[in-house]
Amino acid sequence: MPPLDFIRAFRQYGKEKIGETMKQEQKLSEQASANMNARRAELALARGQLDRSRGYSEATKVLSNLEAALSEHSSALEKMKTKTSRISEHASRYIDRQGMCLPGDITAITNEIIRGADLVSVITKARLPLDQSLYRNLKLPEPSDLELVKDLDFERAAVMALREAIRLQKTIVAATRRQSIVEFARSLDGGRAILARKLLAAIRELDDLVGEDRGLAQQLEPTEVQFLHPAPFPMNIASQELRDWLFECVEQGLLQATELNGIRLP
């Protein structure tokens, strides 16, 4: 049979197979859609469990409270700066020389705040030594100015402690989030293993479906294959990304290595 007649015969054969192929593809598509909907529902449930993680929720609540307190005391500090602007020149040499408005272990102080201790009480207690050092030696034009300076330094101390507390709490939130994600991932292992096996089954089914079309390349001479449009179906269905994903499933114990036998991978 001349090459062109042979190709025409294959084209006619292909037309007869189109209806059957389309039905099979429709069935696969519907099955994939159903699986996808079930998967989405599973993921939504798992995400809800992740978002409701008690430890993470509590950690973020503490962080939110700290940030709100920082905003409040930052505003109060700006107001105190305005009030003390006329005496700042007289007091600056003492304040700058001492270099502190919050003596003591800043980490211990911030840990108390993070644990929920009253901010005013913690800062006030930490600042008591300053009454016998910095403020005793502070000479100001008016006796009442000393109270203004103390109030100013209190707000400075509060802002300093809150900024450090927020920094520490953010590390706690991040660590808690990571742990929640690890637990979230573990909760998905069963469903993802099922997904991986369904995917392998779909790949094998698709391999069987296109087997005849692939075989055209073996039935024609290399010079004749060029007349086929489209060309015979590719040998590899799986992409490099899919290959890597399947291998990682094996590494994580979701699949056995033997389950990949017979799958064409790049």
> What DSSP letter does each residue of 124-138 carry, written as one string?
HHHHGGGGGTTTTT-
Structural tokens at position 249: 């499933």
Work out the average pLDDT over 233-243: 82
Q: Give the total number of structural domains in the chain.
A: 1
The pLDDT of residue 118 is 96
Task: Report how far residue 176's alpha carbon sits from residue 119's, in angstroms, rounded to the nearest whole number.
Answer: 24
The pLDDT of residue 93 is 59
Domain that holds residue 48: 3-235
Q: What is the mean pLDDT of the chain?
A: 80
| Phi and psi torsions of 232, nearest 5° | -55, 150
Contact between residue 70 and residue 159 where contact means Cβ atoms under 8 Å apart: yes
Task: Identify which has the larger pLDDT, 176 or 69.
Answer: 69
| Residue 261 covered by a domain | no
Task: Report how far residue 119's alpha carbon sits from residue 87's, in angstroms, rounded to the nearest whole number.
Answer: 27
Q: What is the 8-class DSSP label of residue 231?
A: P
- pLDDT at residue 10 tops 90: no
| Residue 260 covered by a domain | no
Please list, in sequence order, all residues whose beta carbon lies within 8 angstroms of the beta carbon of residue 4, skipping any fewer than 6 positions away: 227
CA angle 104, 107, 109 (to 5 degrees): 60
Cα separations in angstroms, 104 against 69, 101, 110, 125, 161: 21, 10, 11, 10, 11
Task: Identify which has the larger pLDDT, 14 or 224.
Answer: 224
Q: How confident is the model at residue 266 (pLDDT cuts 50, 70, 90)?
A: confident
The pLDDT of residue 50 is 55
The pLDDT of residue 250 is 93
The pLDDT of residue 28 is 61
The structure's pTM equals 0.60
Q: What is the pLDDT of residues 38-74, one digit of tens each?
A: 666 566 555 655 555 667 888 999 999 999 999 999 9
| Residue 231 covered by a domain | yes
| Residue 264 covered by a domain | no
Contact between residue 228 and residue 216 where contact means Cβ atoms under 8 Å apart: yes
- pLDDT at residue 139 tops 90: no
Q: Amino acid identity of 152?
A: L
| Residue 109 covered by a domain | yes
Query: How many residues can be counted in the chain?
Result: 266
Residues 202-240 as b or e (16 or more Cβ within 10 Å = b): ebeebbeeeeebeebeeebeeeeeeebeeebbeeebbee
Task: Report how far residue 86's alpha carbon sits from residue 53's, in angstroms, rounded to the nearest whole number.
Answer: 51
Identity of the highest mean pLDDT range in 1-15, 29-43, 107-121, 234-248 = 107-121
The pLDDT of residue 117 is 96
The pLDDT of residue 52 is 52
Query: Which residue is associated with the tokens 């109030």?
Result: 151
Q: Amino acid identity of 205?
A: E
* E strand or H helix that includes residue 187: helix 143-209
Q: What is the pLDDT of residues 70-107, one digit of tens each?
A: 999 999 999 988 887 777 666 665 555 445 788 889 99
The pLDDT of residue 9 is 55
Residue 260: closest CA among 241, 247, 244: 247
